A and B are shown apart, each in its own frame.
Chain A
Amino acid sequence: MKIIEFISEFQDFCFLSARGLLGVTKKPFYFKDMIEQMDYVGAGSLFIVLLVSLFIGMALSLQLAAELSALGLKMYIGKIVGVAVIREIGPVLTALVFAGRVGSGMASELGSMILGHQIDTIRVFGVDPMKKLVTPRIVSSIIMLPLLTIIGDLIAIFGGFYVAVFVSRQSGTFYWSSIREALYFENVLSGIIKPFVFGYLIACIGCYTGLSTRGGATGLRRATTKAVVASIIAVIICDFILTRILLYVFGFSL
């Protein structure tokens, strides 16, 4: 029974994800809702992304300095920070922060709309909740998460620079030239592709769990928790799959 339920739920999720995205191809277009969502998911998440990225960049640089100085390889701090942040840590970290803030927010907002009969009201008024509520959330997440990731990457690299120069006493010029070396096309592209997929996944999971809320306050709590947990798991699994594919496509030898 559980397997059948899971398959049925997964099927509903796929259906919502597809319809939510395809909503951009058909009128009406809810531009105002999209802008509001962009403000919530993008501008609203900026501060926490900046904060987390800065400290992760600094911590990474510190760890590398501690290990590499023993080997006399401290000059590689910049390059390793650059590659790690741009290709892996930046996209995943920003996506996890995004899942915690935005995924849970979407699930709780839509869940309370379900419980308060607001979604039923929208349906009775002849408005498609998928187009009015899901599509703007998916589109805004797909646009804003990559932007947040780029900003987060820059701040993490800056955090790494601060530690490399003022704690490890490295040359700032050398740090930045190492970073520039890490900024080649394949690296940047692989770091940029991931957030598009992560943003789509997080928004779909948040909307799906929110719209399938049942059972009052306990149901809402369950939906919100499920949205965050499922988003984190999806991001991490998807990151591995994407990394494997991108390394293969860009011809990195393993």
Chain B
Amino acid sequence: MIQFDKVSFSYGTRQVLQEVSFSASFDERIAILGGSGEGKTTILKLMLGLLRPESGRVLIEGEDIAGRTEDDLRAIRMKFSIVFQEGALFDSLNVKENVAFCLREYTKMSEEEIEGKVKELLGIVGLEHDQDLMPEELSGGMHRRVAIARSLASFEPKMFLYDEPTAGLDPVNAEIICQLILDLCEAGRGFIIVTHKVFDALKVAERVLFLRGGRVIFDGGGKELLRSSIPEIQAFLGELRFDGKGAGIME
């Protein structure tokens, strides 16, 4: 169980989160929606202990992670697997080495075993023939897919965290990523996807949190979000009404 208990956070003088509270279980499929700079990524970072809340508590399985050392946080972080915005691949490593990063760090697998595992993971994301490419040679969609493969190599995560996984992608690539996200959560593992793309959020998530002005102004299912009368949400959903996607999702 993940619990945010009146968490506030600011970057310098800019208050990003104000007493945000919510809880989620590891097998839930959650989307955090909101505009740019509303603190969506900050929530993921707070969850992993990469940032510390100014006030309030972040509890992971009942344990408050604030004030813990990096060594203590390691065990907590292993419960998650994160794909950062644009993939955050290591520039100096090729696709194969990026995916093998954790295998080399934490396992005593032989080179042949690592190679086999990497091939298997890249097969899942459909990139088994691009092992030797460098990150600068990959498209945006390929970046995310390699990052997803790398996140699978890390440990046995209880939950996946995705930071804007479809941002900047064309509809075909966005669809591939959404399908991958859904495929990976089949083993009872949930995910939290942070995005500003309403269509993608509604497609993959069963619960939506809407952030506005540093607060959670909506917490509910996709259908309730579409029916919401909150003006900020109405404005956000304009995109769906404009291209008629909303009706399809409702169905």
B77 with A126: CB separation less than 8 A: yes
B117 at the interface (CB under 8 A from A): no
The contact of A121 among B74, B78, B84, by CB within 8 Å, is: B84
Given A118-B90, A120-B45, A120-B50: A125 and B84 within 8 A (CB)? no
A127 with B105: CB separation less than 8 A: yes
Q: Which residues of A contact B70 (CB under 8 A)?
A: 123, 128
B200 at the interface (CB under 8 A from A): no
B101 at the interface (CB under 8 A from A): yes
A116 at the interface (CB under 8 A from B): yes
A249 at the interface (CB under 8 A from B): no
A78-118: contact bitstring with B at CB < 8 Å (1 yes, 0 no)?
Answer: 00000000000000000000000000000000001100111
- Chain B, interface SS category: mixed
Q: Which residues of A contact B78 (CB under 8 A)?
A: 126
A16 → chain B closest CB, angstroms: 14
A124 at the interface (CB under 8 A from B): yes
A117 with B85: CB separation less than 8 A: yes
Q: Which residues of B contact A117 (CB under 8 A)?
A: 84-86, 88, 163
Residue of B nearest to A126 (CB): B74
Given A125-B101, A126-B78: A118 and B88 within 8 A (CB)? yes
Residue of A nearest to B83 (CB): A121
B159 at the interface (CB under 8 A from A): no
A137 → chain B closest CB, angstroms: 13
A112 to B90, CA, bound (A): 11
A125 to B74, CA, bound (A): 8
B90 with A125: CB separation less than 8 A: no
Which size class do B's interface residues fall under?
20 to 34
Interface size, chain A (Cβ < 8 Å): 14
- A117, A118, A123: most-surrounded residue (chain B CB, <10 A): A117
B154 at the interface (CB under 8 A from A): yes
B48 at the interface (CB under 8 A from A): yes
B80 at the interface (CB under 8 A from A): yes
B122-159: contact bitstring with A at CB < 8 Å (1 yes, 0 no)?
Answer: 00000000000000000000000000000000100000
A116 to B85, CA, bound (A): 8
Q: Which residues in chain A, 205-225, are within 8 Å of chain B measured between CB atoms?
A: none
Residue of A nearest to B154 (CB): A125
B133 → chain A closest CB, angstroms: 18
The contact of B105 among A112, A116, A123, A125, by CB within 8 Å, is: A125
Q: Which residues of A contact B84 (CB under 8 A)?
A: 117, 120-121
B82 with A124: CB separation less than 8 A: yes
B50 with A123: CB separation less than 8 A: yes
A54 to B82, CA, bound (A): 51
B48 with A124: CB separation less than 8 A: yes
The contact of B86 among A112, A113, A116, by CB within 8 Å, is: A116
B48 with A125: CB separation less than 8 A: no
- A112, A113, A123, A126: most-surrounded residue (chain B CB, <10 A): A126
Q: Which residues of B contact A124 (CB under 8 A)?
A: 48, 50, 77, 80, 82
B102 at the interface (CB under 8 A from A): yes
A120 to B90, CA, bound (A): 11
Q: Which residues of A contact B77 (CB under 8 A)?
A: 123-126
A49 to B85, CA, bound (A): 40
A117 to B105, CA, bound (A): 19
Residue of A nearest to B86 (CB): A116
Q: Which residues of A contact B102 (CB under 8 A)?
A: 125
Q: Which residues in chain B, 60-118, are within 8 Å of chain A measured between CB atoms?
A: 70, 74, 77-78, 80, 82, 84-86, 88-91, 101-102, 105-106
A118 to B84, CA, bound (A): 9
A125 to B155, CA, bound (A): 9
A120 to B82, CA, bound (A): 10
Q: Which residues of A contact B163 (CB under 8 A)?
A: 117
Q: Which residues of B contact A126 (CB under 8 A)?
A: 74, 77-78, 105-106
Q: Which residues of B contact A121 (CB under 8 A)?
A: 82, 84, 88, 90
A161-187: contact bitstring with B at CB < 8 Å (1 yes, 0 no)?
Answer: 000000000000000000000000000
B71 → chain A closest CB, angstroms: 9
A37 to B106, CA, bound (A): 22
Q: Which residues of A contact B50 (CB under 8 A)?
A: 120, 123-124
Q: A125-B102, A125-B105 are in contact. List 15 more A-B contacts (CB 8 A).
A: A113-B91, A117-B85, A120-B84, A120-B88, A121-B90, A123-B70, A123-B77, A124-B50, A124-B77, A124-B82, A125-B101, A125-B154, A126-B74, A126-B105, A126-B106
The 6 sampled A-B contact pairs (Cβ below 8 Å) are A113-B91, A118-B89, A120-B50, A121-B84, A123-B77, A124-B50
> What are the 8 A-B residue pairs with the smallest beta carbon separation, nearest first?
A117-B84, A117-B88, A126-B74, A121-B88, A118-B88, A124-B77, A124-B82, A125-B102
